[in-house]
Amino acid sequence: MWGLKAVATSLLVCSVLGAQNFPPDFKFGSASSAYQVEGAWNYGDKTPSIWDVFIKNDPSVIIDHSNADIACNSFHDWERDVEIATELGLDYYRFSISWPRILPTGKQDRISEYGMKYYNNLIDALLEKGIKPVVTMYHWDLPQALQDWGGWLNPLISDWFENYARVLYSLFGDRVKTWLTLNEPIIFCELSFNTGKHAPGLASAGEGNYICNKNAMLAHAKAWRVYDKEFRGKQGGKVSLANQYIWLEPRTNSPIDVEATKNARQLMIGMYSHPIFSKDGGWPPVIERIVAEKSKEEGRFLSRLPGFTQEEIEVIKGTYDFLGFNFYTARAVNKAEDGVDVGEWPLSGSKDLDIQLTMNDEWNKTDAEWLVEYPVGLRRLLNWLKNEYGDIDILITENGYATNKTIIDDQARVNYMKKHLEQVLLAINEDKVKVRGYTAWSMMDNFEWCDGYSLRFGLYEVDFKDPKLKPKPRTSSHYYTNVIKHRSLDFDDTTSNIITDEL
Ligand code: NOJ
């Protein structure tokens, strides 16, 4: 009995001293978003968000015809969420604020007492446990009241967002020191206005998505500038956004595919990053040129991609304190053959660029059809970002693995996380990329947008049929707790190989 323990202990000591350690100031977190977990969709004076309306108008937009009226019940059970975050040993918990919960009209004329109380409780309870709140201002649940005025297609949205941001900084900025303005603008612009699969479901491919893209860049920038001007001095926090980056590689080594991939990266990464992080600002020139040419060929006088004025370029450029991004997957790129339909996904931009994005057969599949595993892509992406935008501090704001069944022993998720964390370590140690933190999506199963409750990303499992909605820890939660505790990947992994005295 003692022998085994001694062996285990010495193994542990040796391995902790190994090369797999994270820098001492590296931070580990986990994430959720308001609409996906809160429920209480019409509690108190909360008004409907575009997702409430989208689903209520047509429940069949969600694969299992479910909705997020209750979701994980986090609005009422925030204490349980803090307990889980504590059990995991998180350094920070990333959650989002529901715009219509805090500002029922979408404007700052009325601040909800219910909303303030809920977020104050959550923030204070996290801080009491030593867990930092990382707060996303917009994770897709726009107040319907603002959608009725055009939402992301109305240029005034950037002013509405600036005002909303100001309210959040003044209410919570004394305690929240890391802010993310927008979550995945590429997804809310593309899926809402290109394919129409996300709320508000207004497909206008090749136009709406580009208008939304421009307005989103301005909204982010104005929110950052308000902080910089009015709050940074007294609050001393940091503001950026959480982009979605899909790593892209050429399908073949042909110069045509290599060129197509360079352009595709500007489309999928650059359109939401170049205006903010590049030294010149503005749209990636190659995309601006191609869309203008295509628009002309279509007989239009104006490009479908609205330009920025020089003043707008300056307003947006440099509006970051770090670079945040969500990473899940990768695609192979090839130049589309003439006449080939590139499909609705990834983007109307694929049609503009005549490119095709496909999955590589060698990449492991998951239960989400869009999510193929390519961890090496994360390291390559980190290096690409450093080359493209410079040596900026990076926060990985999401990374996670999907299953379509309830399963407590989720080894596949453990492997996915481990492989991605290995690539993060290589990027830090070998390539000297300044990755400062990693966020596991998600803390517990939740409402996965159009996939409803059929896809699960949680470190904790939730049985949505059980009215108590009590999450159960999965193997991946134990694994992650160990990573955080040891601040290393090199520990005696009892999560997959439990040694007990009986052995
Ligand atoms: C990224 C989104 O931010 C999040 O809301 C979503 O649940 C995950 N991807 C998984 O699809």
Residue 71 Cα to ligand 1 middle (Å): 15
Active-site residue 337, yes or no?
A: no
Per-residue pLDDT of the chain (503 residues; tens, 9 = 90+): 334 444 444 444 444 444 799 999 999 999 999 999 999 999 999 999 999 999 999 999 999 999 999 999 999 999 999 999 999 999 999 999 999 999 999 999 999 999 999 999 999 999 999 999 999 999 999 999 999 999 999 999 999 999 999 999 999 999 999 999 999 999 999 999 988 999 999 998 899 999 999 999 999 999 999 999 999 999 999 999 999 999 999 999 999 999 999 999 999 999 999 999 999 999 999 999 999 999 999 999 999 999 999 999 999 999 999 999 999 999 999 998 876 766 655 567 788 999 999 999 999 999 999 999 999 999 999 999 999 999 999 999 999 999 999 999 999 999 999 999 999 999 999 999 999 999 999 999 999 999 999 999 999 999 999 999 999 999 999 999 999 999 999 998 765 543 333 32
Which residue has a Cα nearest atom 11 of ligand 1? Answer: 448
Strands (E), 193-343: 238-250, 323-335
Rounded CA-CA distance 240/129 in Å is 25
- CA dihedral over 32, 36, 40, 42, signed as positive or negative: positive
Other beta carbons within 10 angstroms of residue 156's beta carbon come to: 11
Q: What pLDDT does 487 receive? A: 97
Rounded CA-CA distance 156/485 in Å is 46
**For the structural domain made of 28-326+377-502, what CATH number should be given?**
3.20.20.80
Q: Give the N- to C-terminal CA distance of the chain in Å, as an integer.
A: 8
Which residue has a Cα nearest atom 7 of ligand 1? Answer: 448
Q: What pLDDT does 503 receive? A: 27
Residue 352 beta carbon below 6 angstroms from any ligand 1 atom: no
Return all residues near 475 (Cβ < 8 A) that are at least 6 apart: 408, 409, 410, 411, 413, 414, 495, 496
DSSP labels, 272-287? GTHHHHSSS-SS-HHH
Tokens representing 353 are: 């660029």
Q: What pLDDT does 205 receive? A: 84
Q: What pLDDT does 346 receive? A: 54
CA distances from 364 to 367, 454, 484 (A): 10, 20, 26
Quick check: helix, strand or coil at residue 201?
A: coil
Q: What pLDDT does 11 receive? A: 45
Q: What pLDDT does 337 receive? A: 82
Tokens representing 119 are: 């977020």
Q: Are 444 and 460 in contact (CB under 8 A)?
A: yes
Q: What pLDDT does 499 receive? A: 36
Of the CA atoms within 13 Å of residue 277, those in its CB half-sphere come to: 27
Q: Are 192 and 199 in contact (CB under 8 A)?
A: yes
Residue 62 Cα to ligand 1 middle (Å): 15
Residue 183 beta carbon below 6 angstroms from any ligand 1 atom: yes
Residue 33 beta carbon below 6 angstroms from any ligand 1 atom: yes
Domain ranges of the chain: 28-326+377-502
Of 249, 398, 448, 461, catalytic: 398
pTM: 0.94
Other beta carbons within 10 angstroms of residue 18's beta carbon come to: 11
Of 184, 249, 312, 461, catalytic: 184
Q: What pLDDT does 427 receive? A: 98
Q: What pLDDT does 368 receive? A: 96
CA distances from 388 to 273, 276, 384 (A): 10, 12, 6
DSSP labels, 429-495? HTT---EEEEEEE-SB----GGGTTSSB--SEE--TTSTT---EE-HHHHHHHHHHHHTBS-S--TT
Q: What pLDDT does 492 receive? A: 85
Residue 246 Cα to ligand 1 middle (Å): 13
